[in-house]
């Protein structure tokens, strides 16, 4: 019979347990059978009696191993009245979950090897050594029998966040509310006005960091001696970087113990460079994605930690796509980080085939004229939706092309325009007012 798993704040998880003495008791033998059945049905690798509502000192564990993932076997074990009699000096980090805390994955440091003693389900004395996953699961279940839970073992990971643009905003927010992480500093650039009309110097990361009450360091040059010294004094385990726009020195790159993880919004090695989202749209790619790399001194060339692929429908503009990829990046980061810190996600060098680069676009890249192909005009309207926008010149005046689409005959229809010094208007109003049509035949 499978049993109901007690979860999160169920008081029995904190109750003290009693020694098993009545090994011949039918109810006890049934409890053990039910625990094994429940563990297997729930795809767990270990279960302690309090998790199924019993206060007896008994645990079960089992894992069939995974050769591909190189995870070792845990033999089916029933252990009563367990006691850890020796622990190795060596401690390792591992990501742990718990059937009583569905969805929670926490990095926990524990001794690598242990020696335990106790009794089997019939009361026979046992003493044995356990290593790797076996040692890990036994320690976790013995914790349960001592009313200690996974959340009590959480250790704070000190990290630094580096970024200026919108790409990193969801990642910063998620890191800030995750109790596993302590953000020691948010390093951000100084926003520059793109034009005189741009009154507000917006830096979305700084804004978010203020809202979250995080310490902020603004700098024009992260490699500056004083900045390096200040960051070094924080002794970060790892740093996360997104949309920063400054080149990092070797000194900064090696400052966090586990380096700097960079979020890049493309399927690296494709679209290395400062404008991957725009280039993806300009190229009419069918897929894009997010890649986490361990940053090195060459731009976007670091080893890949993890990557996620996203299908495009080729109607997305850069503004929407960036927002979407930022959310995906945050989830990818939070899912990958514990495994990276535990050493289970080794950066893999990028494939030298399929490398491509993009450039920083200029205002003039937004210019189109009657000789530009409709395909390019449509892609540019989407790729340059944030900046630099698409425009054409009529009698020396700039006409911004804001949105458009292809009709069922494959003809480019311009929907919204904004003539210089005027408000945005529909294309039909523009044609009526300016007595001119915009045509593209490239
Ligand atoms: Co558990």
> What token pair was written down for 329?
């990046």
90 lies in the same domain as 196: no
Residue 356 lies in a domain: no
CA 238-339-321 angle, to 5 degrees, is 80
- Measured in angstroms, how far is the CA atom of residue 141 from the centroid of ligand 1? 6
* CATH number for position 408: 3.10.25.10
Cis peptide before 269 (omega within 30 of 0): yes
Model pLDDT, residue 248: 94
pLDDT surpasses 90 at 35:
yes
Distance, in Å, from the CA atom of 391 to the CA atom of 414, rounded to the nearest integer, reads: 12
167 lies in the same domain as 147: no
182 lies in the same domain as 296: yes
310 lies in the same domain as 161: yes
- Measured in angstroms, how far is the CA atom of residue 47 from the centroid of ligand 1? 6
Q: Which residue range(s) make up the domain with 276?
A: 157-342
Phi, psi of 151 (to 5 degrees): -65, -25
CA 366 to chain centre: 33
H helix runs in 162-220, sequence order: 169-177, 204-211
- Measured in angstroms, how far is the CA atom of residue 308 from the centroid of ligand 1? 29
What's the pLDDT tens digit per position in 191-239?
765 555 555 566 999 999 999 999 999 999 999 999 999 999 999 999 9
Where is mean pLDDT largest: 102-111, 116-125, 406-415? 116-125
Residue 275 lies in a domain: yes
Model pLDDT, residue 69: 78
Residue 140 lies in a domain: yes
Q: Enumerate the active-site residues.
A: 46, 51, 98-99, 140-141, 144
Comparing CA positions, the residue from 334, 273, 315, 258 lying closest to residue 106 is 334
Edge-to-edge strand list for the sheet holding 74-87? 46-48, 58-63, 74-87, 114-119, 125-130
Helix, strand or coil, per DSSP, at residue 173: helix
The residues whose Cβ lies within 5 A of ligand 1, an ion, are: 98
Residue that terminates a domain, selected from 104, 136, 153:
153
* CATH number for position 55: 3.90.45.10
Residue 144 lies in a domain: yes
Residue 357 lies in a domain: no
Residue 355 lies in a domain: no
Model pLDDT, residue 66: 86
191 lies in the same domain as 263: yes
- Measured in angstroms, how far is the CA atom of residue 332 from the centroid of ligand 1? 24
What's the pLDDT tens digit per position in 394-410?
988 999 999 999 999 99
Place of tokens 């509310």: 177
What's the pLDDT tens digit per position in 112-133?
999 999 999 999 999 999 999 9
- Measured in angstroms, how far is the CA atom of residue 13 from the centroid of ligand 1? 10
38 lies in the same domain as 125: yes
Which helix (H) or strand (E) element contains residue 366?
none
- Yes or no: say if 333 and 262 are a contact pair by the CB < 8 Å rule: no
Backbone torsion region of residue 431, taken as left when φ is above 0, otherwise alpha when ψ lies between -120 and 50, otherwise beta: alpha
- Measured in angstroms, how far is the CA atom of residue 150 from the centroid of ligand 1? 7
Residue that terminates a domain, selected from 98, 129, 153:
153
297 lies in the same domain as 387: no
- Measured in angstroms, how far is the CA atom of residue 24 from the centroid of ligand 1? 27
41 lies in the same domain as 105: yes
What's the pLDDT tens digit per position in 266-293?
999 999 999 999 999 999 999 999 999 9
176 lies in the same domain as 243: yes
Percentage with pLDDT > 70 across the chain: 97
Burial of 219 (0-12, 13-18, 19+ CB in 10 A): middle
- Measured in angstroms, how far is the CA atom of residue 48 from the centroid of ligand 1? 7
Residue 231 lies in a domain: yes
314 lies in the same domain as 412: no
Comparing CA positions, the residue from 52, 69, 60 lying closest to residue 1 is 52
127 lies in the same domain as 111: yes
* CATH number for position 199: 3.40.50.170
pLDDT surpasses 90 at 50:
yes
212 lies in the same domain as 106: no
Distance, in Å, from the CA atom of 108 to the CA atom of 216, rounded to the nearest integer, reads: 28
Residue that terminates a domain, selected from 312, 342, 372:
342
Distance, in Å, from the CA atom of 112 to the CA atom of 177, rounded to the nearest integer, reads: 30
- Measured in angstroms, how far is the CA atom of residue 143 from the centroid of ligand 1? 8
Residue 350 lies in a domain: no
- Yes or no: say if 242 and 329 are a contact pair by the CB < 8 Å rule: yes
What is the number of structural domains in the chain? 3
Which helix (H) or strand (E) element contains residue 327?
helix 318-341
């Amino acid at each position: 019979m499978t049993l109901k798993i007690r979860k999160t704040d169920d008081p029995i998880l904190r109750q003290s347990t009693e020694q098993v003495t009545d090994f011949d008791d039918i109810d006890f033998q049934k409890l053990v059978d039910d625990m094994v059945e429940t563990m297997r049905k729930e795809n767990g690798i270990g279960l302690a009696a309090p998790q199924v509502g019993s206060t007896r000192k008994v645990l079960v564990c089992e894992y069939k191993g995974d050769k591909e993932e190189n995870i070792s076997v845990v033999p089916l074990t029933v252990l009563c009245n367990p006691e850890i009699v020796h622990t190795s000096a060596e401690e390792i980090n591992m990501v742990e979950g718990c059937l009583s805390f569905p969805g929670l994955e926490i990095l926990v440091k524990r001794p690598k090897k242990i020696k335990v003693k106790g009794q089997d389900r019939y009361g026979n004395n046992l003493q044995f050594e356990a290593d790797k996953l076996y040692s890990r699961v036994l320690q976790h279940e013995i914790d349960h029998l001592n009313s200690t839970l996974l959340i009590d073992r959480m250790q704070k990971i000190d990290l630094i966040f580096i970024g200026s643009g919108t790409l990193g905003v969801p990642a910063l927010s998620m890191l800030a509310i995750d109790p596993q992480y302590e953000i020691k500093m948010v390093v951000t650039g100084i926003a520059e006005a793109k034009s005189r009309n741009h009154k507000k110097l917006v830096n979305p990361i700084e804004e978010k960091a203020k809202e979250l009450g995080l310490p902020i360091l603004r700098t024009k040059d992260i490699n500056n001696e004083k900045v390096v010294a200040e960051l070094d004094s924080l002794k970060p385990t790892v740093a996360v970087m997104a949309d920063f726009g400054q080149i990092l020195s070797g000194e900064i790159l090696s400052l966090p113990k586990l380096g700097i993880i960079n979020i890049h919004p493309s399927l690296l090695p494709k679209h290395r460079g400062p404008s991957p989202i725009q280039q993806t749209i300009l190229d009419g790619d069918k897929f894009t994605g997010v890649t986490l790399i361990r940053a090195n001194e060459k731009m976007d060339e670091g080893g890949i930690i993890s990557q996620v692929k996203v299908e495009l429908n080729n109607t997305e503009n850069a503004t929407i796509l960036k927002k979407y990829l930022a959310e995906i990046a945050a989830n990818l980061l939070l899912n990958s980080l514990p495994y990276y810190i535990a050493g289970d996600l080794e950066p893999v060098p990028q494939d030298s085939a399929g490398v491509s680069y993009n450039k920083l676009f200029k205002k003039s890249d937004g210019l189109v004229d009657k000789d530009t192909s409709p395909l390019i005009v449509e892609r540019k309207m989407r790729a340059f939706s944030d900046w630099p926008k698409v425009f054409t010149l009529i009698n020396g005046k700039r006409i911004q092309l804001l949105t458009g689409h292809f009709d069922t005959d494959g003809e480019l229809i311009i929907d919204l325009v904004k003539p210089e010094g005027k408000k945005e208007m529909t294309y039909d109003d523009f044609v009526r007012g300016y007595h001119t049509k915009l045509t593209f035949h490239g």
